[in-house]
Each structure stands twice: as C-alpha cells, then as structure tokens.
Structure 1
C-alpha cells in the first residue's frame, strides 16, 4: 500500500502544524507520510516541543520550513490548521484535497497566562485537541 502524503499547513510552521505532523506520524506512520510547513518559517517553538515530549512524541528534530520547499511532493491532502493559512494557502497546494481544521494559537493564548505553567497548559490543551483529531478523524479525510 502506498502511503498518502499529508501536509499540515500553518502560518509560521512553529507550533500547531508541527504538533499535527508529530501526531500523524505517531498514529498513522504506516499509512501516512506526514509533513508540516508554513506560509512563513518562524522556527520551532520550544514550548510545543516540550509539551509534545511530555506526551511521548519527540518533534525536536523537526525543522520549520516554507510550503514552497514541498513543491515537488505529490500531496494527497493539505490540512490548514489556522485561519491565516486557510485564507492564504499557496496555489500549488490546492491541487490536493484541501481541508481546514482550525486550532487555537498556543503562543497567542500563552501571552495572557499568569505563570509559565499556565502558559504551558494552553499548549497542552491544543496539543491534546490535535492529538484527538489525528487519532480519530484524520484517516477519514484521506482521499
């Protein structure tokens, strides 16, 4: 069986799309080749790496990259995980099935936190929402 190529697209490819790639590889590595990229590349978010590691998924070797770096990958499915990426999805990606599944932005939510632990809790909540999506709904979206 050939693996399906799935891209998780976000604005900066630093947090949500990276977590989604990690969970997709964790749950569906035998059937999905997961990628993540951004409209921009903001670097890896250390809090995202920390909370994923807490959950048993190491994304520390991943890198923040532009969607254009995947122009030669025949994508089957592109999932935008933030509104900005959904509204500004690069045209070459729309040849694949395009689906928007939005998640809150942990760095934005963490700015309002009263403590570092409260900030990390925002990352954990979104991590868990992405985990549940990847585990229970992702496969049904494949073309």
Structure 2
C-alpha cells in the first residue's frame, strides 16, 4: 500500500514543488504525492533552474490550491507544510486520518543578490529538502533509489 502525501506552502511556487518532485523521485510507486499552496502563485524560475541541475524538470508544473483539493474531498496519510509556522497554521484540516507535519524551510523567493548568489541560496534549500525527504522515507521504510 502506498502512502499519500501532500506538501503545502504559501504559493506552491518553490518549496512544495521541490518536495513533491523529490518525493516522486525517491518514493517511486510507494507514494502518491501532490503539492499545493494557500495562495497559488507563479512557479519560481530560480527553483526551476536548480531542480534542472539535479535532472528534474518542473518547468511545466502548475501551481495548485490546497483549498481546491480540500473541496474535492481528497485524503492523505501525511499533510506536510514546508513553509513558516504562520502559514502552516492556515492549512485546512483534511477529512479522514492524516498526520500533519511541519518542516520549515527558508523561502527561496526571499533570496537576494546577483543571480548566482540567489541560485546558491536556493540550491542550499533544495538540498535540505531532498535530505529531509530521504530521512522521512527511511522512517517510513520506503526504499530510496
């Protein structure tokens, strides 16, 4: 039986998109993964670039609303907020059993400086997210590729 996981962030433009992509990569058919935002925005292009460096193309991804998923009655084993505490507290409670987790990561859209300086900051967040996914999957006894 696979685990259903939803990653939530404010705009579904960066952190939750990266978490979804890494969970799909490392979880394979053992997980069903989606991501959504409280206020869906535009995909962060720095995130698209740094994910491509890892061989993952998210350039065609669309941002989605967590409230649309809620209204559709979707259920998850885990709802994981990857944004700050205040935003995580605004996430809806999904019907059925779901464990709510909070993994706060810095917001890539807050990265400043030259393009290379921004990309370096976003790479650090990307790598932290991937490490957290791998750690989580080990706890769930999901084989990591």
Contact conserved, 1:9 with 1:85, CA < 8 A, in 2? no
Contact conserved, 1:14 with 1:44, CA < 8 A, in 2? yes
1:135 shift after superposition? 1.5
Q: 1:129 to 1:64 in 2, by over 3 A?
A: same
Q: Deviations 1:3-54 (Å, cap 9, x if unpaired)?
A: 2110000011100000000000000022111110011101211111110011
* Other-structure match for 1:105: 107
* Secondary structure of residue in 1 paired with 2:74: coil
* Other-structure match for 2:80: 79
Structure 2: any 5+ residue segments left out of the alignment?
A: none
Contact conserved, 2:74 with 2:94, CA < 8 A, in 1? no
* Other-structure match for 2:94: 92
* Secondary structure of residue in 1 paired with 2:29: coil
Q: 1:93 to 1:59 in 2, by over 3 A?
A: farther
TM-score, with length taken from structure 1: 0.88
Contact conserved, 1:78 with 1:93, CA < 8 A, in 2? no
Runs of 4+ aligned residues of structure 1 deviating over 6 Å after TM superposition are none
Q: 1:4 to 1:132 in 2, by over 3 A?
A: same
1:94 shift after superposition? 8.3
* Other-structure match for 1:52: 51
Q: 1:60 to 1:129 in 2, by over 3 A?
A: same
Query: Aligned pair count?
Result: 138
Contact conserved, 1:77 with 1:97, CA < 8 A, in 2? yes
Q: 1:42 to 1:93 in 2, by over 3 A?
A: farther
Distance 2:43 2:66 in 1: 15
* Other-structure match for 1:128: 127
Structure 1: any 5+ residue segments left out of the alignment?
A: none
